[in-house]
Structures are given as C-alpha cells and as structure tokens.
C-alpha cells in the first residue's frame, strides 16, 4: 500500500511517501523546482516519489471546501475551481483516490505521532488553517482529542506575519528574519503601543483565547507610518516578539494547568520561532517539535492523521539522495586549511534547516569567520549562524534548552571563543548530535574534535542567495562555482 501525503497549492508545497515499511521520503517541492518556497508540485518531485511506486491513495493536508468558504468570508472571492484538489493533482498526472484531513489535525498528527510520547498536550499555532488559527489537543491512547479551537480572524500567526510585512519583509516567508531582528531592538519602546493597538484585552488572560482588533489579511502597513528608520524597524520587531511571547506564555500556562500531561508537542508555523519555543520548558517536562512543524510538515501529518499510528522520527534526512560515503576526511582537511567547506551528501533534510547533509560548515573559532561566511551567504547581519555540537559537550559550552533540530535558544558560556555562532542577544540556536547517532555529521564532528580539540562547527544551509537549499549534484556544483567554496559530495571521488 503506497500513500502520498501532499501539502500544496498554498505556499511551500511538500510531498511525503509512505509504504508498508513506514515513511520513505519527504521533500519540499522547492528543492526540485529551484523556486524558493514553491507553492506548487512539479514533475521532477513527482517522478522522484514514483521510485516507490504509483500511489494507491493520496491524503491532502486540509479541507478545500472549508478553505473556499473562509476565503469567501475574507473577501478573497469564490475560489472553488482553484481549490479543487482532484483537478489540481490530475494536472500532474496523479489520479489516485483522495482523502482529506483538516489543516490543524494534520499539524497535530505530524507532531503527536512522530513524538516518543504516548500522552501529550498538543498545541498548534499558525496563521490560518481552513478557519482555525490555534488548537489544543489531548493526545492519549493513540488518539487526538481537540480541547480548544480559536477561529479566524483572530490569529496570532497572521498578526506576526502582518508585522513582518510592516518592517519591510515578506509575510509568510520572512518571519524568522523578524525574530532575528528582535535582538537588535528595544522591546519596551513600543510594547504597550503594539499591544493596545492590536490585541483586544478581553481576549487576554491566563487562557489561550486570542482576540485581534483588526482583520490583518491585508497586512498592517498602515500602522504608525511615521516609524521609518532602521532602529524603528528593530524596535517594532523587538516589541512584536515580546507581545508574541507574552501570548505564548498565556497559552502554554493554560494548557499546562488544564491538561494532565507533562509532555508538550508544539506544532504549526509558529513553532519555528526558536526564542518563543524555549518558553515551553518552563511549563512542561518534555517538549517535541517535529523538525518541519509548518504546513510542509503536514504532508507527513495528514497521512498520520488517518493512520493513527506512531512513527517516531529519529532524523530529518528524508529527501533526495546523493549517494556515497560521507566525505569526513576531505571536510576535516578543508576546514583545517581554509576554515570553510560545503557538504552535499546522503538524503536531504526535510524542513527549513540543514543538519549536515546540505550544509555550509565552518570552524566556529576566531573573529573573522562570521564575516567570511556572511560574505558567501550574503545575508542580513541580524541573522545568526547556528552551531552543531557533539551532544556530550553541549552542556560545557551552552545553557539549556538545546536539541537536535536548532529549535531553541540557549546562551553560550564562551562568547569570546565562538563569536560566529552567537546572536546579538548572546544566544545560540544549537544543534546537538547524540553519541548513538551514526549520521555523517556525527562522524565528521568526532573526527574534527579528535584533530582539533573543538567539538563544534558552524552550520548553515547550503544555498545560493534567493534559491532553495542545494538538492542534487548539479546544485552543489553550481554553489561551488558561484562562491568559490569547495563542496564535497562523497568520500570516494577526488573533489
Ligand atoms: Fe498551518
């Protein structure tokens, strides 16, 4: 039995393949089309997925008719034809029977069934599903029971996206940049202004209820037009992040008091907010965030919502495969010689972050490495680089929380030794690699540590500016040519 899970026709499309053996493949569409955050499927992705055979059924990640009604209510017209999934898939030559899951059920299932928890409180926060914007579920005995649902237009995610647009960034795409900018601003200057102008006080207390004063589907570029300087933008970002965290605190506090479980599963696009994610450990003993918690991860979640079957995710290496042994020796040699090396080997990561299979790696020590990597990546100064560290050394270098997927912020104990992997506010988004893990990045870190005494590398995604992460050998070659950085793809050849 072959089942495809698909999340597409909105933003950042993805496809997952399940066989009787479990989850075999999952990838963002963009990696195959070369179009960043590609909203649609493409022939290359579908052909690659067909390696496992023709699908017997497809599960779609949300309910199109409900979405159509919401779009109508939001003044976006009657999009029934555009939202017709059968026609959409037929356009790509996919004719299997289609089942549907609801948008937030897909998020909740992606988190709960990939976790190691049998009992869990599941919190999903995003911009919008069909109508839902925040849901809380109780996971118990393999079942998900919805406890709370917040409806459109009251959406903390939609508001955060509107603020992303207000500071001049792209909504539904650049929210992580707003989060990075927050460290450069003063949250106190505009906190009360933003809170009073956007958040309805009646909707705030120690409960998950959110009431937003405005319908923000068309953004809020109208807000405080006199704020135009770069520092104004940083201060808006800082206050936005602070208000957001205040609402997250209320939500998680309510969930921890009203549901029994001490295990939290956090999902939805908002679970990509590393600074806010760290708050979860104040109220829960254990936390699981699937490495791809946004809508693309729902390509996995919609299938699990139907299967109701636990499928823990030991890693995120589920995408396109570049065959060959991980080029450990070549990478160590290059990193020792030049301080920077690219790697594209094995299965690509499913999710927005690179964990060592499509990574640009660097020696994290010294003052010049950040500028050198930034010169290659050409990105804004307010976006920090992340460290990847042998798990057994993580507590020597960082506070908590840390984890294998760069989902939290922790403080570095040696900011002067490792300035490249520390953000303006002194925090780092740490990726740990456990001793039992036999992934390429683990083997590399072990070799790097034994050669240099340093248990850590700087790890950022291998992508040309404005393009998706490198997927195949051609992409890797293009990266190497464009930036003059060696990219190693396997141990065997003579790169
Ligand atoms: Fe979502």
Q: Which pLDDT belongs to residue 494?
A: 54
User: Based on the number of CB atoms within 10 Å of its own CB, is 446 exposed (0-12), middle (13-18) or buried (19 or more)?
Assistant: middle
Q: Which pLDDT belongs to residue 383?
A: 76
Measured from the Cβ of residue 337, the count of other Cβ atoms closer than 10 Å reads 10
Model pTM score = 0.95
Ligand 1 centroid to Cα of residue 53, in Å, is: 28
Ligand 1 centroid to Cα of residue 294, in Å, is: 6
pLDDT by residue for the chain (495 residues), tens digit each? 999 999 999 989 999 999 999 999 999 999 999 999 999 999 999 999 999 999 999 999 999 999 999 888 888 889 988 999 999 999 999 999 999 999 999 999 999 999 999 999 999 999 999 999 999 999 999 999 999 999 988 999 999 999 999 999 999 889 999 999 999 999 999 999 999 999 986 655 677 888 899 888 889 999 999 999 999 999 999 999 999 999 999 999 999 999 999 999 999 999 999 999 999 999 999 999 999 999 999 999 999 999 999 998 999 999 999 999 999 999 999 999 999 999 999 999 999 999 999 999 999 998 899 889 998 988 777 777 999 999 999 999 999 999 999 999 999 999 999 999 999 889 999 999 999 999 999 999 999 999 999 999 999 999 988 899 999 999 999 999 999 999 999 998 654
Q: Which pLDDT belongs to residue 378?
A: 81
Ligand 1 centroid to Cα of residue 155, in Å, is: 11
The DSSP line for 390-439 is EHHHHHHHB-S--BTTS-S-EEBS-TTT-GGG--TTSEE--EEE-TT--S
- Give the CA radius of gyration of the chain: 22
Ligand 1 centroid to Cα of residue 116, in Å, is: 22
Closest CA to 129 of 11, 4, 295: 295
Tell me if residue 116 falls in helix, strand or coil.
Answer: coil
- Structure token digits, residue 257: 């008091």
Beta bridge partners of 15: 6, 27
- Structure token digits, residue 262: 């001490």
The DSSP line for 341-352 is EEEE-EEEESSS
Could you give the CA distance from residue 475 to residue 470 in angstroms, rounded to a whole number?
Answer: 5
Could you give the CA distance from residue 220 to residue 469 in angstroms, rounded to a whole number?
Answer: 31
Closest CA to 386 of 447, 326, 427: 427
Measured from the Cβ of residue 50, the count of other Cβ atoms closer than 10 Å reads 15
Could you give the CA distance from residue 352 to residue 369 in angstroms, rounded to a whole number?
Answer: 23
Tell me if residue 460 falls in helix, strand or coil.
Answer: strand
Q: Which pLDDT belongs to residue 202?
A: 64
Closest CA to 70 of 37, 103, 106, 109: 103
Q: What's the half-sphere exposure (Cβ side, CA atoms, 13 Å) at 155? A: 27
Surrounding residues of ion ligand 1, Cβ less than 5 A: 126, 295
Ligand 1 centroid to Cα of residue 326, in Å, is: 35
Q: Whose structure tokens read 């040696």?
A: 414
Ligand 1 centroid to Cα of residue 173, in Å, is: 13
Ligand 1 centroid to Cα of residue 64, in Å, is: 14
Closest CA to 131 of 195, 214, 217: 217
Ligand 1 centroid to Cα of residue 107, in Å, is: 7
Q: Which pLDDT belongs to residue 231?
A: 97
Ligand 1 centroid to Cα of residue 103, in Å, is: 6
Q: Which pLDDT belongs to residue 201?
A: 64
Q: Which pLDDT belongs to residue 217?
A: 82
Ligand 1 centroid to Cα of residue 461, in Å, is: 23
Q: Which pLDDT belongs to residue 81?
A: 87
Q: Which pLDDT belongs to residue 377?
A: 86
Could you give the CA distance from residue 128 to residue 402 in angstroms, rounded to a whole number?
Answer: 29
């Amino acid at each position: 039995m072959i089942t495809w899970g698909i999340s597409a026709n909105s933003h950042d499309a993805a496809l997952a393949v399940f066989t009787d053996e479990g989850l075999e493949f999952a990838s963002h569409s963009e990696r195959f089309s070369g179009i960043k955050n590609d909203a649609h499927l493409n022939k290359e992705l579908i052909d690659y997925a067909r390696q496992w055979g023709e699908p017997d059924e497809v599960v779609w990640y949300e309910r199109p008719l409900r979405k159509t009604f919401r779009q109508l209510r939001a003044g976006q017209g009657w999009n029934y034809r555009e939202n017709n999934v059968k026609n959409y898939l037929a356009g790509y030559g996919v004719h299997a029977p289609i089942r549907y899951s609801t948008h937030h059920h897909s998020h909740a299932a992606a988190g709960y069934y990939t976790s190691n928890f049998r009992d869990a409180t599941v919190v999903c926060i995003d911009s919008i599903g069909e109508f839902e914007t925040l849901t809380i579920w109780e996971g118990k005995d393999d079942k998900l029971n919805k406890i709370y649902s917040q409806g459109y237009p009251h959406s903390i995610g939609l508001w955060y996206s509107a603020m992303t647009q207000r500071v001049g960034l792209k909504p539904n795409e650049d929210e992580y940049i707003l989060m990075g900018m927050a460290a450069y601003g003063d949250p106190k200057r505009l906190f009360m202004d933003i809170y009073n102008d956007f958040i309805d006080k009646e909707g705030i207390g120690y409960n998950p209820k959110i009431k937003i004063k405005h319908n923000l589907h068309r953004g809020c570029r109208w807000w405080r037009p006199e704020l135009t300087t770069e520092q104004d933008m940083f201060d808006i970002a800082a206050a936005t992040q602070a208000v957001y965290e205040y609402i997250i605190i209320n939500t998680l506090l309510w969930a921890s008091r009203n549901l029994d479980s001490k295990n939290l599963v956090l999902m939805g696009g908002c679970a990509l907010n590393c600074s806010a994610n760290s708050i979860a450990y104040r109220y829960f003993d254990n936390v699981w965030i699937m490495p791809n918690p946004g809508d693309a991860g729902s390509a996995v979640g919609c299938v699990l919502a139907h299967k109701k079957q636990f499928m823990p995710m030991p890693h995120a290496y589920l995408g396109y495969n570049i065959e060959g042994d991980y080029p450990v020796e070549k990478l160590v040699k290059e990193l020792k010689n030049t301080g920077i090396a690219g790697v594209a080997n094995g299965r690509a990561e499913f999710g927005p972050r690179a964990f060592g299979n499509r990574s640009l790696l660097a020696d994290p020590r010294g003052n010049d490495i950040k500028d050198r990597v930034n010169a290659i990546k050409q990105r804004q100064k307010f976006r920090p680089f992340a460290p990847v560290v042998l798990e057994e050394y993580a507590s020597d270098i960082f506070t908590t929380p840390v984890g294998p997927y760069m989902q939290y912020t922790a403080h570095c104990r040696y900011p002067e030794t490792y300035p490249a992997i520390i953000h303006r506010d002194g925090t780092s988004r740490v990726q740990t690699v456990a001793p039992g893990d036999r992934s390429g990045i683990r083997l590399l870190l072990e070799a790097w540590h034994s050669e240099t005494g340093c248990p850590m590398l700087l790890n950022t995604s291998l992508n040309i500016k404005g393009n998706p992460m490198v997927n195949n050998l051609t992409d890797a070659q293009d990266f190497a040519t464009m930036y003059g950085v060696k990219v190693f793809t396997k141990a065997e050849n003579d790169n």
